[in-house]
Structure 1
């Protein structure tokens, strides 16, 4: 069972150079991802004079996030594993691929990266608002929670299948490409209902900068539940426990 491989880690790990470099890589990757992703939404608002979201705007957001995540995962892969998402880090922790202590370092770096990206966007655009995630009209918190759970399940399941599974073989750039694609596709599916976060850090940065916290718990609980379920399902059903080797980070 993956739960038996969960490790808390040692306090000394927090000062190890590789752990600090990995956290810095997560900070930079998250900054790249949020700056491009949230920036695309701000650009749409400027071009449409803060008009209502349109199908074209949704497609633009999907492409921007898919492209940016592909790059963000790729540039961090060899240093931190390219998680770029606290939920992905949690999924790796549940599967025994990263210690709790290193997970905390990643979470801090990811949240800071998102906040800094949103502050830079606010400054660079002359004070334009960084839109916080919010539920659409007619969508309850429980509706949104299910959306976020299912979308994040798909994301983390993709991470496991293309990046974590030791039987994946040499698939090169397929892992970050597939991860970017599933996020882009999920935005097309859920963007009109919840904003399709799938990533607590992505919703946290805009919430801090705009100080808008409505339904924020949905964007934390949903991704963490979905990530944990995906990790357990893939580990139990598809990873050969006898040959599995615990890794400090996801290997892609």
Structure 2
């Protein structure tokens, strides 16, 4: 079971230069992603008089998030692994691919990156609202949780298959593209129902800046459950104990 490989890490890891550089990379990557993704929605609202819920708005959101995530993962991959998502970090933790201490650093950096991105959007647009994620009419909270579980499962499963699996070979080169594509596709599938977050950081920044917390828990519970299931399934069935690469601990 991959749960047996969860490592807490050593106290020195929290202040190690490599960990701090990785956390900074996550902050910058998340800022880039949220600024472009949320900014595209705000721009579409401005151009179409608040019509981001139209089919054209949904397609625009899917493309913007897919392109932005492709870039954000690419620029962070060689430094932090390019998680850009607390749920992805949680999935990596469950699979024993990152320590708990480094995960906490990543989570803090990702949440701060999202908040700063939304503050920059609010300032640079002259105070326009940064809309928080919410449920569409007729969609219950638990319906949205299931949506988030399934969509985040697909995202983290893709991360494992293209970036984490030691057998990935040349497939790792296209990992950022595949990760961006699955997020864009999921937005087309679930965006009209609950906004298709798949990423607690993406939901957290707008919620803080707009101070809107209605059903915010959905965007934490669903992604973390989906990420955990994907990690357990892929690590147990397709990687296995024989193919798992142990965490490098000699630096800490």
Q: TM-score interval w.r.t. the shorter chain?
A: over 0.9
TM-score normalised by length of structure 1: 0.97
Range that drifts further, 114-123 or 168-177: 168-177
Over 3 Å counting, the alpha-carbon distance change for 1:165 and 1:12 in structure 2 is same
Structure 1 residues 6-40: Cα deviation after superposition (integer angstroms, max 9, x where no partner): 00111110110000000000000000000000000
5 Å-filtered alignment, 1:73-222, equals 73-222=73-222
Partner of 1:4: 4
- State the distance in 2 between where 1:82 and 1:230 align: 18
- State the distance in 2 between where 1:107 and 1:224 align: 12
- State the distance in 2 between where 1:172 and 1:186 align: 21
- State the distance in 2 between where 1:247 and 1:75 align: 22
RMSD of aligned residue pairs (Cα, Å): 1.1
- State the distance in 2 between where 1:90 and 1:60 align: 29
Equivalent residues of 2:135, 2:195 under 8 A apart: yes
Which ranges of structure 2 fall in alignment gaps of 5 or more residues?
none
In structure 2, the residue corresponding to 1:112 is in which secondary structure?
A: helix
Partner of 2:60: 60
Q: How many residues align?
A: 249
How far 1:173 sits from its partner (Å)? Answer: 3.2
How far 1:170 sits from its partner (Å)? Answer: 2.2
How far 1:53 sits from its partner (Å)? Answer: 1.6
In structure 1, the residue corresponding to 2:138 is in which secondary structure?
A: coil
5 Å-filtered alignment, 1:37-52, equals 37-51=37-51
- State the distance in 2 between where 1:245 and 1:57 align: 42
TM-score normalised by length of structure 2: 0.97
Over 3 Å counting, the alpha-carbon distance change for 1:52 and 1:24 in structure 2 is closer
How far 1:50 sits from its partner (Å)? Answer: 1.8
Range that drifts further, 6-15 or 102-111: 6-15
- State the distance in 2 between where 1:34 and 1:242 align: 38
Range that drifts further, 164-173 or 152-161: 164-173
- State the distance in 2 between where 1:56 and 1:243 align: 44
How far 1:52 sits from its partner (Å)? Answer: 5.7
In structure 1, the residue corresponding to 2:44 is in which secondary structure?
A: helix
Partner of 2:229: 229
Larger fraction in helix: 2
- State the distance in 2 between where 1:217 and 1:172 align: 33
Structure 1 residues 83-106: Cα deviation after superposition (integer angstroms, max 9, x where no partner): 000000000000000000000000
Structure 1 residues 114-173: Cα deviation after superposition (integer angstroms, max 9, x where no partner): 000000000000000000000000000000000000000000000000000000012353
Q: Which runs of 4 or more aligned residues in structure 1 lie more than 3 Å from their structure 2 counterparts after TM superposition?
A: none
Equivalent residues of 2:30, 2:114 under 8 A apart: yes
Equivalent residues of 2:52, 2:58 under 8 A apart: no
Partner of 2:21: 21
